[in-house]
Amino acid sequence: MIDFRPFAYLIPILPILGFLLCLLFGKYSWRRGGMFANLTIFGSLIISLGILYNVYFQGMSFYEKSWNWFYPGIVFGIVVDPLSIVMVCMVSFVGLLIHIFAIGYMGEDPDKFLYFGETALFTGAMLGLVLSNNFIQLFLFWELVGLCSYLLIGFWWYKPEAAAAAKKAWMFCVVGDSLFLLGIVIVYNYMFSAPGITEPITFSQIFSSLETGVIPPPMLTLVSLLTLAGVCGKSAQFPLHGWIPDAMEGPTTVSALIHAATMVTAGIYLVARTFPIFMAAPNALWVVAIVGGFTALLTATMGLVVNDLKRVLAYSTISQLGYMLCMLGVGAAIGAYAVGYSIFHLISHAFFKALLFLGAGCILHGLWNIRSIKEMGGLRDKMRITSITMLIGALTLAGFPLTSGFYSKDKIIESAYEYGEIASKTGGLVHYLPWIFLIFGVFLTATYTFRMYFLAFTGKPKTYLAEHAHEPKPISSMIMPLIILAACSLIFGILTQTKFYDFLSTTFTTTTAYMSALNFEHLAKMGGNPYGLEHVETPLYIELLPTVFVFLGIGIAGYIYFNNRVDVGKYIKKGNPIYKIVWNKYHLDYVYRNLVAEKFIITLVILWDVFDLYVIDGVVNGISWLTVKSGTVIRRVQTGVVQNYATVILLGIVLLLTVIWYFGV
């Protein structure tokens, strides 16, 4: 068997090559560039699966390779370990299915060669981010991912909504990115001055130096919080989550790529990759758990009132990312296995969220881009394959028993309860908050998911377009990805759960040629985390509670929305204060736009402009004015008459002789 590990660098390079081919030759190729994008991503998938076989089945060692870059110690490198392996397999596999779907979905778009070029670059950037072995390289790909999302969200730039959504996404992310970059600078500052450090921003050397105290614990907390700010921007966590719903103005295949395989998962991966830093940082993981849990619950409430099909799925993405982030936070009591639990839900989510978004793409394709679920209805009989696959996706998102979402989400909720049991003994009952957030999120997720499904697929068609809906054509390119993703959503959890956890847990606990195994108990003591203090057995009723809430949520949604049994408008009016608050997204957009942007930032800019105009420019202009005036006065001495100059010289000599005589020099 070929050793694919040394060829890992080709995984991101191939899609980037596909981007260049699409731009240069896409106009003249089969399906306008789709061939180049699909073939290069398929090549990345083959190498990724080969590396998985090498490391997992053949037992080959982890692999890291660095090349010197523009400054000593600043390297460009790749890391091949369980965490990066499962991520590149997911990104390339799900990304390939989305690209295959896009061949049919974008078939009539005149700029599809540009679309495929940008999506290939998007995929390559995400793969490069995942394989990066250092902060600087990761940040460069991190920004490239953001740039591609800007281009793709605004792909239909001639639509004002799309252009505005692209700018909004960029602005939200750049706030977090700036803080994340500051955190990298702090790490570099401490690592660069430490003895024996040859690559100051390489993850392996940073992790190895944690126990020696190269970076003081308070600074580790600061670095962790700054990193979390970047995560909140990229992975749309509170308070930087507002860009995601507007990002639905791009093509649906872009939404699938962003939500399932690339951009928003980058933040979760970043926390997982730097998990040892968070573990050693006092209070950092507690903040991570609260931010993730609160985001999961907050955005689940918004999903209850939205009628735009894609926006319902967008809010579900933010909520599910909150589950993943919260899992890493409660990992303070679990250790390295927290990475496995979180990434397991990330992979599971990639399957069912890509399935749901591509299913939504089929609906939009068949209904001439109608997105309101209140203008659908009866699609179950018109779009049989789409309805079945989306039902599987909805069940998996809700966490229905035996689906992959059931296994991945329930493990997170159990871990949050265990964290509350352990941490509350020393820190109080407040440590149960993550579990409370997540358990209520389960109920809301099941409710809004099946509200969406029942309104779209059951009852009678509500519009002419819904009455004449049909499955998309060509069937081969748009339906086959749905079937494959539906199968993965069903069987992934059953087949891989325990083995996946064990494999991922070795990422930081295996001694390799470039890093010694990390002692998480010691790191936990540094950060004041409860890992290793005790083991908690989760009661049976706690294990069953999420399933009860799933059935309760589906039951309530079915009672109200199945075949439109209940007219909700009779009971919940738009003037209802609670409904208005949730409908207006808790007025967060108003706060950001009217208060933060228009009041605070614009006022700050005006004050700075005044300071620049009257203080900085005033000093500069004052010096020049003084110079000119002084020159004007002194210039009068220069008369051009030789006798005047001789008189001044004579007076100077007399004055000098007088001083010498008087002082006796």
Torsion of CA 389, 395, 396, 398, to 10 degrees: 140
Radius of gyration of the chain (CA): 30
Q: What pLDDT sits at residue 320?
A: 96
Tens of pLDDT, residues 255-284: 999 999 889 999 999 999 999 999 999 999
Q: What pLDDT sits at residue 428?
A: 84
What is the band of 11 on the pLDDT scale with cuts at 50, 70, 90?
Answer: very high
Q: What pLDDT sits at residue 533?
A: 65
Tens of pLDDT, residues 528-552: 898 876 777 888 999 999 999 999 9
The C-alpha atoms of residue 344 and residue 324 are separated, in whole angstroms, by 9
Q: What pLDDT sits at residue 30?
A: 58
Nearest to 217 by CA among 521, 528, 517, 515: 528
Question: Which residues, at least 6 apart from 54, have a Cβ–Cβ distance to it below 8 Å?
Answer: 1, 3, 4, 5, 60
**Would you put residue 42 in left (φ > 0), alpha (ψ -120 to 50) or beta?**
alpha
> In whole numbers, what is the pLDDT of the chain averaged over residues?
90
DSSP bridge pairs for 64: 79
CA atoms within 13 A of residue 505's CA, in its CB half-sphere: 15
Q: What pLDDT sits at residue 593?
A: 82
Nearest to 584 by CA among 291, 264, 301: 301
Q: What pLDDT sits at residue 594?
A: 82
Does pLDDT of 570 surpass 70? no
Torsion of CA 651, 653, 657, 659, to 10 degrees: 60
The C-alpha atoms of residue 270 and residue 508 are separated, in whole angstroms, by 14
Instruction: For residue 378, give the DSSP letter.
Output: -
The C-alpha atoms of residue 268 and residue 343 are separated, in whole angstroms, by 8
Tens of pLDDT, residues 102-114: 998 888 888 888 9
Contact 323, 345 (CB under 8 A): yes
Q: What pLDDT sits at residue 474?
A: 60
DSSP character string of 233-302? HHTT-TTS-THHHHGGGS-HHHHHIIIIISHHHHHHHHHHHTHHHHHHSTTHHHHHHHHHHHHHHHHHHH
CA dist list (Å): 303 to 58, 66, 254, 440, 654:
45, 45, 20, 14, 96
The C-alpha atoms of residue 388 and residue 453 are separated, in whole angstroms, by 11
Q: What average pLDDT score do residues 130-149 get? A: 95
Backbone angles phi, psi at 427, to 5 degrees: -110, 0
- Counting every residue written for the chain, the total comes to 665
What is the band of 68 on the pLDDT scale with cuts at 50, 70, 90?
Answer: confident
Backbone angles phi, psi at 133, to 5 degrees: -105, 10
Write the burial class of residue 534 (CB in 10 Å: 0-12 exposed, 13-18 middle, 19+ buried).
Answer: exposed
Q: What average pLDDT score do residues 76-87 get? A: 95
Tens of pLDDT, residues 413-452: 999 999 999 988 888 889 999 999 999 999 999 999 999 9
* Element of type H or E holding 69: strand 63-71
Q: What average pLDDT score do residues 489-501 get? A: 91
Q: Letter for the amino acid at 506?
A: T
Greater pLDDT, 512 or 31:
512
DSSP character string of 525-587? HHHT--TTS---PPPHHHHHHHHHHHHHHHHHHHHHHGGG-S-GGGTS-TT-HHHHHHHTGGG
The C-alpha atoms of residue 89 and residue 41 are separated, in whole angstroms, by 11
Q: What pLDDT sits at residue 628?
A: 85
The C-alpha atoms of residue 126 and residue 488 are separated, in whole angstroms, by 22
The C-alpha atoms of residue 460 and residue 29 are separated, in whole angstroms, by 43
Nearest to 73 by CA among 166, 187, 153, 177: 187
What is the band of 6 on the pLDDT scale with cuts at 50, 70, 90?
Answer: very high
Does pLDDT of 664 surpass 80? no
- Where are the domains positioned within the chain? 286-576, 590-663
Does pLDDT of 219 surpass 70? yes
Does pLDDT of 665 surpass 60? no
**3-class SS at 80?**
strand
Most confident by average pLDDT, 215-229, 498-512, 594-608: 215-229
Q: What pLDDT sits at residue 603?
A: 86
Q: What pLDDT sits at residue 180?
A: 96
**Would you put residue 283 in left (φ > 0), alpha (ψ -120 to 50) or beta?**
left
Question: Which residues, at least 6 apart from 79, have a Cβ–Cβ distance to it below 8 Å?
Answer: 62, 63, 64, 131, 132, 133, 203, 204
CA dist list (Å): 511 to 50, 290, 346, 517, 519:
22, 32, 26, 4, 11
Does pLDDT of 636 surpass 90? no
**Would you put residue 54 in left (φ > 0), alpha (ψ -120 to 50) or beta?**
alpha
What is the band of 32 on the pLDDT scale with cuts at 50, 70, 90?
Answer: low
DSSP bridge pairs for 63: 80
* Cis amide prior to 474 (ω within 30 degrees): yes
